[in-house]
A and B are shown apart, each in its own frame.
Chain A
């Protein structure tokens, strides 16, 4: 790919990435929204986090099937318990990393 077409490529990529990030802020911020929409949007962050995490934890990259013995899954359980007990984000990140390091070097 030539230098010029590479520049066009990343400009195009940045446009289609920026639009979905910008449009909802430009349209929705500061506007009075219907109650059901606010209620729905309020649940979206939790839903997105769970949707990002669950397949990452549960599904084996090798087989594409759920695998409860994956280090990611085992670490996830311990990290969730820690996060529930000790309400600290930095603590959760550090514990998650250490447990993952330990479990993946054991398995």
Chain B
């Protein structure tokens, strides 16, 4: 790529800026969680560079926590990898719902984008895609800025996490609050409200009876199915598209 039209260049630059600005709640939320992870990982016997390596190549918050606590308990690699797979199965759903908006994107960009899909980057990117004027540049920027914050915070936790006071400024609530904001923004229409209420109720019930985080994937799939069925029952004329 020797020569790029100035207009394309400018569009990419604008997109990157928009992505950086959008990513701040995710970064803010990753700081306390990343620090906490770093502290736990260091107590489990990992060096800061090993922590950074895991954050870089795996980049999955809850799976990393579980892996490190399994390591500390003396678990073998195979059982840790299997657990990671199960914990991250929900990404199948998340990626599928993002795929709707990724029609014209080149394959290698899709593969790069896939690396940075987390619950948080997904929630942010998806709500922007729905609002329109959001593209792969912005979405990739959100993913990689979040990734950078995660790596930095986890490594910092590995070095000095114990000296940072827990719970300051309510920072532990940054991610839940972001999820609340994004959820409320998407409740445009009856079927979304019905699905959200259904999913929340099912998730609370399932969280008490199912092991691990299986409640997320089961409650989401069932609630979305319920939403489709209720919507079709109430408005049979809409079913064709």
Contact = CB atoms under 8 A, between A and B. Distances in A.
- For the residues of A in contact with B, the DSSP-based class is helix
Contacts of A23: 92, 95
Contacts of A69: none
B75 to A, nearest CB: 10
Nearest to B45: A1
Contact of A47 (B111, B176, B181, B219): B219
B12 interface: no
Given A13-B58, A65-B208, A93-B178, A47 B223 contact: yes
B180 A97 contact: no
Contacts of B6: none
Contact of A20 (B88, B104, B181): B88
Interface string B86-102: 00111111111111101
B177 interface: yes
Contact of A10 (B57, B82, B92, B185): B57
Contacts of A104: 167, 170
Given A46-B192, A48-B220, A80-B180, A29 B227 contact: no
A29 B87 CA distance: 24
B231 A49 contact: no
Q: Which of B24, B179, B182, B239 gathers most chain A CB within 10 Å?
A: B179
Interface of B: 24-25, 28, 50, 53-54, 57-60, 63, 67, 71, 77, 80-82, 84-85, 88-100, 102-105, 107, 110-111, 113-115, 117, 119, 122-123, 126-127, 167-174, 176-187, 191-192, 195-204, 207-208, 215-216, 219-221, 223-225, 227-228, 231, 239-241
10 contacts: A7-B53, A13-B80, A21-B94, A21-B115, A25-B114, A53-B183, A64-B208, A79-B181, A93-B178, A96-B177
